[in-house]
Amino acid sequence: MLRVGYIGLGLMGAPIARNLLRAGFQVVVHNRSRAIVDQLATEGALPAETPAEVARQVDILCTNLPDSADVAQVVLGEHGVVEGAHSGLIFMDNSTIKPETARMLAQSLALHGVPALDAPVSGGQIGAEQATLVYMVGGSAEAFTKAIPVFQATGKAWTHVGESGAGQIAKACNQIMVAAQMVAMGELLVLAQKAGVDPFKVVAAIRGGAAQCWTLDTKPQRLAEGIRTPGFKARMQLKDLNIVLETGKTYGAPLPLSEIATEVFRQMVENGGGELDNAAVLSVFEQIANVRVGQADS
């Protein structure tokens, strides 16, 4: 059985680590905040003090961290993954980071004989908890094949997109669609509410037709129940959109809709909603329209 390390035990990382434990893997964990490490230790995980200590003990080391600089620090910084590099180790990053950072880390790890996979995920906290994540993967085909048992234990689909950085390009494309859907859903819910029509009956009417999408299938029920907690935090959606725009500039690709979505999420974060679910972006439109979706107009 493969030994798997997991670094970064937040909303996504902790449930992924739990699913690896349930699948029977020996799992070594590390996190900046100690409490979740101690909790997972009671569930069978082995705690480690540093990324290097994790790396020394495992066959596949996964990270799930907030941003590009965080991953680079964990891999290349003091007591980082490179200090625990050994023959047979595969590095797999599940974070959403810049494609250029993913390529740089792959090149750095290759100098230590460690193949790297950039393997960001889609599916949010629910997908992490239910082991239904979708993996989009860049890196060597050989390392991808060796990592399939990890994908099987934690996800429902995994695609080898191409060489290093290709997984992060795919995730940027994914976030274009996700952000557009969230903003569009916010607009339609507020329009229905403002027009005096039950917004959730509108969703029921339209999601069986051409408007059907994952967002309308999963988010409205939570909003109808007044649940706006993550999920996937709006500030992280904004971070990902900034990566999208930077990537567009790098390759000269026009991204007008993503620019608009970025501004809407930036307004949400500036309004204090950064810790809410990305579906709560409708709050920006609610504020302008002076309504609260699901409640009588004020």
* Residues annotated as part of the active site: 171
Q: How far apart, in whole angstroms, are the C-alpha atoms of residue 272 and residue 276? A: 9
